[in-house]
Amino acid sequence: MVISQEGIAATSQVLASQAGAQILARDGSAVDAAIAANAVLGVTEPLMTGLGGDLFVLYWDAKTGKLTGLNGSGPAPKALSPEFLAKQGIKRMPGEGIHSVTVPGAVRGWYQMHQRFGKLPWKELFQPAIAFAEKGYPVHEGMEEIWASPGIVRGLRANNESARVFLPGGKPPETGQLFKNPDMGRAFRLVAEKGPDAFYRGEIAAAILNTSQHLGGTMTAEDLASFAPEWVEPISIDYRGWRVYELPPNSQGMAALEMLNIMETKPPSAGGAFSPEELHKRIEAMKLAYSDVHRYVADPRTYDAPVPQILSKDYARRRAALMDPTRANCDVEAGEPGGSNTTYLTVVDREGNVASWIQSVFGYFGSRVTVEGMGFVLQNRGGGFTLEPNHPDVLAGGKRPFHTLIPAFMERGDEHIGFGIMGGAVQPLAHAQFVSNFIDYHMNLQEAMEAPRFSKNNAPGCDVSIEFRVPAATLQQLSERGHIIRIQREYIESMGRGQAILHNSKTGINFAASDPRADGAAIPEPVRP
């Protein structure tokens, strides 16, 4: 772990962590540092995050002990509908291209957080990102590995602006190669100098609309100008004496909490966190929770999901009763309760305030559509909709899609932990594994974060991916119980990339972890002479 009495910034990219730590050293708040680090991530991890994506935040105020939630996810353009897509001959919700684009919520989300919890001037927060965009930065291994994959390259080449910006010389940059994006630097300068209006009403908005129009999209000036993030009340459960928090729908945080509730119905395995009994329980609990989240989570402004019922201990016991301890369930159905890719970061400042912060363009390079002259991609969050007429997540103009982004927080007594593990659909099950490792098996933050994980993108089927660091005997016994195992290499990015910070409000000491599955680090605030 990284341990310090000063503030700490933990992100998936070391240059972003450094930028956050430098902001803390200048008396910036946790939110100031998070915005600065997030902006740098938009430059150094353009595959994952940036100006064209959405934002979700949990913020713990050390003085009041209050936890505040922000949903900065944007809706579909008002003119985008199943009927519109049908006229284009589209029968399934696109996962990329201009019709997968929803209104980006990050910039206005940053601004609302800064207005409420920031200390430093807004303009100062973007200077590191501008410098890296204009002067360049050396590409790190984790990004190069994904950037160079054939599918990503093909997707970028399908959009002329994406190919121009992100395939310098016609190919992806190599590890250590200096990559510059002056167009993105220009966009960040506009945001820094003119605030969110530059993005939602001004020069950047005009570029977004021009790009959309050239590709036959439906985005309008009103779609951008009318967007506002929403302050929300976090949802939570008690897990073995710890209070664990997530954000409510339209995010999938409910799945992590339901999974933990189901796991809590049975004691930790005497064989340890990587025993066949424990992993079987986690995998089966995940399937039950995911079947519910994909059935019931949607934009709460259009659908009233039965969240209290799904998070009740009684419902968890009913769902847990469906688990066979000796056999994998390959056909899990949603219950009757009644009633990506991403970048995650967390920051604690010297006052003990904790920002649990997640932002994303969803798929690698989002929609693969780059805003003309601005150097950033637009997210493909519209892919979270369905065209099934009676489904809660059916596409509708002005509606927010199902969202994978989930920042998390947990506390007991004097210990307060901001944490998150990005990775699209993998996030809830990765959260639950981290929480169980820490609480049930008494691992420290770093051990709990880098411990072997399993992953699975949805409830149906008995397929499951597991890192090969899990003991061979466990893999063998899981296979005998009917799990179809795909063995993955160690510390693979597809298992999620996480960060965590623990603040002890009694001692004032901070502890941090950074996942080796990413290019990041937890960096303490430099001590001032």
DSSP-assigned letters across all residues of 503-529: EETTT--EEEEE-TTSB-EEEEPPPP-
**Amino acid letter, residue 214:** H
Q: How far apart are CA 260 and CA 509, in angstroms?
A: 28
Q: What is residue 382's DSSP assignment? A: G
Whether residue 64 lies in the annotated active site: no
HSE-CB of 429 using CA atoms within 13 angstroms: 32
Which residue reads 């938009």 in tokens? 42
- Residue at 466: amino acid letter: I
Question: What is the rounded distance in angstroms from the CA atom of residue 369 to the CA atom of residue 343?
Answer: 19
Among the listed residues 49, 102, 342, 343, the single catalytic one is 342
- Residue 193 has which token pair? 């100098």
Helices (H), 148-296: 150-157, 160-166, 182-194, 197-200, 203-214, 221-225, 253-264, 276-296
The long-range contacts involving 461-469, CB below 8 angstroms and separated by at least 24 positions, are 461/330, 462/328, 462/329, 462/330, 464/283, 465/494, 465/495, 466/279, 467/491, 467/492, 467/495
Written as one string, the DSSP assignment of 310-358 is HTSHHHHHHHHTT-BTTB--SS----------EEEEEEE-TT--EEEEE
The angle subtended at Cα 180 by Cα 104 and Cα 143, nearest 5°, is 70
CA 470, 474, 476, 480 dihedral sign is negative
Q: Which is nearest to 492 in space by CA: 438, 450, 459, 458?
A: 450
Q: Hey, what are 230's tokens?
A: 């929403």
Catalytic residue ranges? 342
